[in-house]
Structure 1
Amino acid sequence: MSDKDIVRSGAFDTRQLVSSLPQALRKLNPRDQARNPVMFVVYLGALITTVLAIIYPSVFAWVIVVWLWFTVIFAGLAEAVAEGRGRAQADSLRKVKRDTVARVLGDDGAITELPGSELRLGMRIVVEAGETIAGDGDVVEGIATVDESAITGESAPVVRESGGDRSAVTGGTVVLSDRIVVQITAEPGSTFVDRMIALVEGASRKKTPNEIALDILLTALTIIFLLAVVAIGPMQSYAGEAADPIKLIALLVCLIPTTIGALLSSIGIAGMDRLVQRNVLAMSGRAVEAAGDIDTLLMDKTGTITFGNRRATEFHPADGVELVELADVAYRCSLADDTPEGRSIIDLALSRYEVTPLDEVDVAAARSGADPRFTVVPFTAQTRMSGVDLDKNGQVSEYRKGAADAVEKWVGTLTAQVRKDVDAISTRGGTPLVVGIRTGLRRHVRRAERAERVEVLGVVELSDVVKPGMTDRFAQLRAMGIRTVMVTGDNPLTAKAIAAEAGVDDFIAQATPEDKLELIRKEQSGGRLVAMTGDGTNDAPALAQADVGLAMNTGTMAAKEAGNMVDLDSDPTKLIEVVAIGKQLLITRGALTTFSLANDLAKYFAILPAMFSAVYPQLDALNIMRLHSAESAIVSAVVFNALIIVALIPLSLKGVRYRATSAANLLRRNLLIYGLGGVVTPFIGIWLIDLLVRLLPGMG
């Protein structure tokens, strides 16, 4: 997978500039301007030069006035375009958030209709096929397929059922089949759709710590340049030249970091926007930035690194046992097993071996437990086995499959050959299920006397397949300097094999929620930032502890509340994209800051010689662009200063392309492209603009 696949550039249309212009003009409000110290200085400078141009009119004065106001407007335009893209997304989300009528289920079983806007926490609503779910909640009764395309963009329906980690539903989605009862978990105005709308519109976006720190730096630089420009006035008077306040204001605007000051807000908004495009809801900009600084990444094995459904791939009979007999017993053990693994055992037994299938009526009876001949034995955490008991004329046959140690305890012992097969399967990264049988049992007889045959028949091999491309993704993360840790409940041998195949740096086998929490705290105590994914209530403590906790939208409310990001697609591997987006945000901000500071430095050396060559002729040697005059030099610099903001708006929205490489290579690339580019571009741009400006009346 290429970097381009990981982080796709956000769409940008030049028509957005025109459509966002009215919003940019509204941002001329002094309160809006005061939020950005750098641009507020430009705003005040534009006001003062406007007054001076009215009192002392000239072509030079009015040209400066016009372009200073353009600079202020273009800065607002960058933010308005970013917000405009958010509003476009918000409009589509509002179509989802229509005021649906809910059927509220009362404590007495009675159903009353209520507008969705009046739903409150704890209420239970009934939703049937074809109806829209009126609010966020958890399924507490029933199972149904749900169309979530309005939220996730994914057309395939998903299954939502009571209990477990796939019970959460989102308001505005449509039930396609069956009937469910949903308990409301969010007040009106605080649903996920509401929060997404506020997020993409920028209404709830606060400055992140990095943005605040950069604001302080830019403010300090502005004050330094302000003091320097103020000092130039007395220097001009001492040299016998009258100080021109319009020239000094224009010089100040050109020297302070207006480029990054104008684009800083749009960079942050666009970063959040890229997450929303991928259906990830970030609770704050801090989480996005933290994703860009992640050092350690915790990922579950099942469903993230591997396909969630393990499949039976081979039967390994014990010594003296026919392969067909093992397949037949494994088939019977799985009749009432509705898990993907159980169904795959049935498919393998029927498709590859000469197993005689039971009559469909018998199969249905075995699955439902309606036939007294069949007693379904479900899997439990205590027995770690499942199977079925078949009672035929008082003779009972017990069929079991499960963990090796559990079956061993059930039958008494495992042969050396079976142990060897179990170890070999685990070493290959598979999951061994041992199959055992006890036949000829009679009820109400002591265990030592009742069984005619107790035997382990062999092992079923379940294979856990690593998803395609995961090895490349982990290699990219390693190149980013991120340590990857696979977390699994499997035994150490299986975990080791999967970790080696996937290419992760480390793994934790037989992990408990406490193990995850302990690992996160250990990493953080060493000054490292940690990210992880989760969807269950047992993941909530670790999600809350992690610096970036990506909760699945299909997960429990506890998990979603604990994390600082929610993936509406419920794709655990998306955390890799989130990390790349966070890094892209930081790199974009750093690249444009580098360009802006280099750009300001270059303008300083480009226009100062032209300004003071009349007073200090020896400075003319430094006027390498041969700018025509002080007036044309200043006008050219002010025009360039305004236009470069517009030119960089697409880059601030799309983001600088991120490549997975070392920090040293990123710094080198940043300095070569944006540092050197920031130095060279003003010289070329100001020189070309000067050629045109000198043609204006009063500039020649």
Structure 2
Amino acid sequence: VTVLIISCPCALGLATPSAVMAGSGKGAEYGILFKGADAMEATARIQAIIFDKTGTLTKGEPSVTDVIAVNKFDRDEVLKLAAVAEKHSEHPLGEAIVQAYRKTSGEPEDATSFNAVPGQGVTARYANRQILLGNRKLMAENNISIEAIVAEAERLETEGKTAMFVAVDGKAAGIVAVADTLKETSPRAVAELKKLGIQVLMITGDNQRTADAIARQVGIDRVLAEVLPEDKAGEVKKLQAEGLKVAMVGDGINDAPALAQADVGIAIGSGTDVAKETGHVILVKDDILDVVAALQVGRRTLRLIKQNLFWAFGYNTLAIPLGMGILYPFTAQMVSPELAALLMATSSLSVTLNTLRMGGFVPGVRRVKTGGAS
């Protein structure tokens, strides 16, 4: 009877669920929602994180910064034609162009035809003129010469701006440059992740020059540029093939396949419902410092689970031989059923008290005086 009582696996049964519950509660306290214990454990084991650029590292509110005109076009005409072409586009860069035109000239007119070319730009027809707005690939595929303005485009790109070429009736008309603003917390979040030993990458559809400029500002060394939306999941797979546990952080519908492919998909709360449905972790606030906090909560929870299991197994390892009478030859004393019950309760209490320590945990990145990694 004593052995049966003393070997009750209560502490073992409490070890993991209690820690997971405490970790989930602590995450929720900071606006971090883990979709189950698996998501929390996977978060704790992450080795590399890929950030989508637009809306994740940046505010996702691009604005027009430069308009350049060539070949007898003027700046107002270039912006007008670009706005007409992008009026029915749902792309953030297109919306930025339309907003810039509205501020000075009102509502742009409707194009008679419109076509979005994934990964390249848009084509439209207006007032019997064929308008192209997009990147170098779109210009090349339509045999548009941009030699006269490519140097200007490269200059803009080294400043972290996205340069879009405008062509009318087969001739280059100019450039519209758009830039997005980095979130204030992005550089610090990247620095904190590096302190945790995490490899940080950025993925974007921008060309390499623009992407490198943004990455330098935020402190990211490895950039995956000119990646089409449908190819993002493939880039995650490549990292996983290197043996890395990969997290993907994104907010848009285009990020959903990559979020699903990653070991941990982290969806920004301000993003689309599709991204949040696909993600394993949801950040309620639009602050990527919470990515760091999620890792710190996950790691602390995993450490707590290991501690609880140590105490639970340690108790059984020591207590069961005592209940069997291993000390009887030396003391002529046996453990009574009452004492066995007390020891069993004490083991459960030790696990519970250890778990309650999570209540006082504050992720390092959220402390008033930021300390080291936790």
Paired with 1:480 and 1:594, the residues of 2 have a C-alpha distance of 25
Which residue of structure 2 lines up, in the alignment, with residue 308 of structure 1?
A: 60
Deviation at 1:518? 4.3
Q: Match of 2:182, as an amino acid?
A: V
The yes-or-no answer on 1:567 pairing with 2:282 is yes
Equivalent pair of 2:11/2:351 in contact (CA under 8 Å): yes
Deviation at 1:330, TM superposition (A): 1.1
Residues 569-588 of structure 1: matches in 2 within 5 Å?
A: 569=284, 573=288, 575-588=291-304
Kept after mapping to 2: 8 A contact 1:330/1:401:
no
The answer on 1:463 being equivalent to 2:212 is: no
Say if 1:517 and 1:542, in contact at 8 Å, map to a contact too.
Answer: yes
Match of 1:554 among 261, 272, 284: 272
Counterpart of 2:162, as a letter, is T
- Cα deviation, 1:436-486, whole Å, max 9, x if unaligned, reads 334xxxxxxxxxxxxxxx753321111122211111111111111111121
Whole-Å separation in 1 of the counterparts to 2:261 and 2:94: 36
**Quick one: which of 367, 384, 388 aligns to 2:121?**
384
CA distance 1:433–1:41, shift in 2 (3 Å): farther
Shift of 1:411: 7.2
Distance change >3 Å, CA 455–CA 585, structure 1 → 2: same
Using the alignment, how far apart are the partners of 1:405 and 1:524 within structure 2? 30
**Distance of 1:456 and 1:406 partners within structure 2:** 12
Counterpart in 1 of 2:159? 428
Aligned amino acid, residue 62 of structure 2: R
Counterparts in 2 of 1:350 and 1:337: CA distance versus 1, 3 Å: closer
Instruction: Note the alpha carbon deviations across 1:347-381, whole angstroms, 9 max, x for none.
Output: 54575xxx6x36xxxx47x23xxxxxx62434333
Q: 1:434 to 1:525 in 2, by over 3 A?
A: closer
The one-letter amino acid paired with 1:510 is E
Contact 1:584 1:655 survives alignment (8 Å) = no
Aligned length: 347
What SS does structure 1 have at the residue aligned with 2:202? strand
Q: What's the counterpart of residue 620 of structure 1?
A: none
Instruction: Say whether the 8 Å CA contact 1:384–1:403 is kept in structure 2.
Output: yes
The residue correspondences of 1:492-507 to structure 2 (distance < 5 A) are 492-507=208-223
Q: Report what 2:320 is aligned to.
A: none
Counterpart position of 1:677 = none
Corresponding residue for 2:168?
437
Residue 432 (structure 1) shift: 0.5
Looking at structure 2, the residues matched to 533 and 594 of structure 1 have their Cα atoms a distance apart, in angstroms, of 34
Classify 1:407/1:515 alpha carbon distance in 2 versus 1 (closer, same or farther; 3 Å). Answer: closer
Give unmatched runs, 5+ long, in structure 2. Answer: 318-326, 332-338, 366-371
Q: State whether structure 2 residue 109 is matched by structure 1 residue 337.
A: no
Q: Quick one: which amino acid aligns to residue 301 of structure 2?
A: L
Amino acid at match of 2:183: K
Deviation at 1:384, TM superposition (A): 2.6
In structure 2, the residue corresponding to 1:303 is in which secondary structure? helix
1:317 to 69, 81, 100: 69
In 2, distance between residues paired with 1:312 and 1:579?
36
In 1, Cα distance between equivalents of 2:4 and 2:56: 51
| SS state at 2:56 partner | coil
1:289 aligned counterpart, secondary structure: helix
1:106-255 equivalent positions in 2, closer than 5 A:
none
Partner SS for 2:75: helix
Structure 1 position 414 matched with structure 2 position 130: no
SS in 1 for 2:55: coil
Picking from 112, 116, 121, the partner of 1:375 is: 112
Q: Give the CA deviation at 1:274.
A: 3.8
Task: Give per-residue Cα distances to partners, 1:103-149, cap 9 Å, x unaligned.
Answer: xxxxxxxxxxxxxxxxxxxxxxxxxxxxxxxxxxxxxxxxxxxxxxx
Give 2:295's aligned amino acid. V
Shift of the 321–467 alpha-carbon distance from structure 1 to 2, 3 Å rule, reads farther
Secondary structure of the structure 1 residue equivalent to 2:54: coil
SS in 2 for 1:467: coil
Structure 2 residue matching 1:334: 3-state secondary structure: helix
Q: Do the aligned partners of residues 330 and 473 (structure 1) sit closer, same or farther apart at CA in structure 2, a change above 3 Å counting?
A: same
- Select 1:286's aligned residue among 30, 38, 49: 38
Amino acid at match of 2:5: L
Residues 1:476 and 1:41: Cα distance change in structure 2 (over 3 Å): farther
Q: Tell me which residue corresponds to 1:209.
A: none
Amino acid corresponding to residue 426 of structure 1 in structure 2: E
Kindly indicate whether residue 32 of structure 2 is the aligned counterpart of residue 267 of structure 1.
Answer: no
In 2, Cα distance between equivalents of 1:483 and 1:577: 16
CA shift in 2, pair 1:334/1:640, >3 Å: same
Q: Describe the SS at the equivalent of 1:379.
A: strand
Matching of residue 44 in structure 1 with residue 10 in structure 2: no
Give 3-state SS (helix, strand or coil) of 2:25's partner: helix
Report sequence identity in percent.
Answer: 25
Q: Establish whether residue 651 from structure 1 lines up as the match of residue 367 from structure 2.
A: no
Counterpart of 1:196 in structure 2 is: none
Residue 321 of structure 2 corresponds to: none
Query: Displacement of 1:505 after TM fit?
Result: 3.5
Q: 1:476 aligns to what SS in structure 2?
A: helix
1:296, distance to aligned residue in structure 2 (A): 1.1
Which residue identity is paired with 1:402?
Answer: G
Mapped to 2, the partners of 1:576 and 1:41 lie a distance apart of 48
Q: Give 1:279 shift.
A: 6.1
Does structure 2 retain, via aligned residues, the 8 Å contact 1:535–1:554? yes
Larger radius of gyration: 1
- The aligned amino acid for 1:484 is V
Q: Does 1:489 align with 2:226?
A: no
Measured after TM superposition, the shift of residue 425 of structure 1 is 1.6
Measured after TM superposition, the shift of residue 525 of structure 1 is 4.0
